[in-house]
Structure 1
Amino acid sequence: MRKRSPRGSGGLLGDEILDAATELLIAGDGGAGVSIRAVAARVGVTPPSIYLHFADKEELLDAVCARFFEQFDDVMVAAADGIDDLTERGVAQGLAYVRFAIDNPVIFREAFARPTTEPTQTDQVLMASAFQRMRATVAEAMEAGVLPRGEVTAMVLRLWSIAHGVADLMTAKPGLPWGQDLTLAEDVLRAALTGFGQESVKSELLRRDER
């Protein structure tokens, strides 16, 4: 059992709890291997100490996933850095999402394991960071005519659904013949963006015909 954190170090203990829960989550290949008692034992405290920080196991696991996805904002920034072509930037951001999932499959699956009616902490992290990065790309692409003008959030959700579907399949079924790189994922994402872009061209041609 580790030495207990000194009185007044609640933030430190909270981080240690998250670290322990993350280790158990990954080692057990999912949330089934995580319990308040197991986390408490790993940290070296009593179970009631865990409840001072997290109401229950679900809240703890959500916090684990949220902390992990906070790193994804930096990944999205790096993915888009220096790419002026808006289609290529969108593909790069989608690929970053897929790659992040493949590199961290257990936490990725856990983050989306249960349907929720209210936004979770993980949802809030994604909406405040990675979602906004993609939203900025989509808004710029609409303004430039690369994507059809319309509701930006709706288009982001369409593109996110496509990237998430690819990521979900590749993490859930890694034994399928995906190839040695992300070429297949890239093809799917580029096809989607190109398809939406063609809608923009058709819309512009229709507007010209109506003049």
Structure 2
Amino acid sequence: MTETRARNRRGQGELLRAEIESAAMRLLDELGDDEALSLRAVAREVGIAATSVYLHFADRDALVLAVLRRFQRETAAEADAAEASAADPLGKLRARVLRVGASAHEHAGLYKVLHESALNRRVDMSFKRSIAEDTTAAVRRCMDAGAIPDGDAEEVSLDLRAAVHGAVSMRVNQPDATWPPLAAQIERLLRKITAG
């Protein structure tokens, strides 16, 4: 049983909000299903009364959206850092795509909720566009540098993201199948899609 948590001092409500988000993030990653998440379970994980969750989130969807936005921001930051560590435009694109794929694979439950849940049809999730836009910009830089054939950067980016999402989704939804290493598969997909 979870111990009761010590109350935050007055004016530290944002700390509790962050703890609630973190607990929900862990649970969603384990469950892989936003509809299986209960606010009561999140409250238990944090060590607070279920009613305290409602002081920060109107309902389960609001909490799940906050978690998914945070996951998206963290993934984007990791992809930016990976890109920054590479020297040339193609290396930067490779690092970015590999990091996004690895993050999705490492957090399969969150990935599933972010991309495959019914929540996508119920609420605005336009915040997901940031990674797509950053990948398109990385593809354009490769084209401008002559590292890959010139063409429609958005189309190449879409093909690349669809391939990576497919590779991750297959692993998430068929975990008992025998798969090649994700990084090696992404490398092959990247070479094929950017070959022109």
TM exceeding 0.5: yes
2:11 and 2:166 map into 1 onto residues whose CA distance is 44
1:140-177 CA-to-partner distances (Å, cap 9, x unmatched) read 23334534333x44442332222211111122223222
**Retained in 2: the 8 A contact 1:79–1:96?**
yes
TM-score by length of 1: 0.76
Counterpart code for 2:73: E
Instruction: Give the total of aligned pairs.
Output: 189
Q: Which residue, 148, 151, 175 being the options, matches 1:149?
A: 151
1:137 maps to what in 2? 138
Larger radius of gyration: 1
2:74 maps to what in 1? 71
Unaligned runs of 5+ in 2: none
1:127 and 1:101 map into 2 onto residues whose CA distance is 15
2:104 maps to what in 1? 101
TM-score by length of 2: 0.81
Give the drift of 1:106.
1.0
1:23 and 1:48 map into 2 onto residues whose CA distance is 20
Give the drift of 1:181.
5.5
Unaligned runs of 5+ in 1: 198-211
1:117 and 1:28 map into 2 onto residues whose CA distance is 20
**Retained in 1: the 8 A contact 2:31–2:109?**
no
**Retained in 1: the 8 A contact 2:101–2:168?**
yes
Q: Percent identity over the alignment?
A: 29
Q: Which residue, 38, 41, 61 being the options, matches 1:58?
A: 61
1:82-110 CA-to-partner distances (Å, cap 9, x unmatched) read 23152x43333222222111111111111
1:173 maps to what in 2? 174
* CA RMSD across the alignment: 2.5
| Structure-2 change in CA distance of 1:45 and 1:160 (3 Å) | same
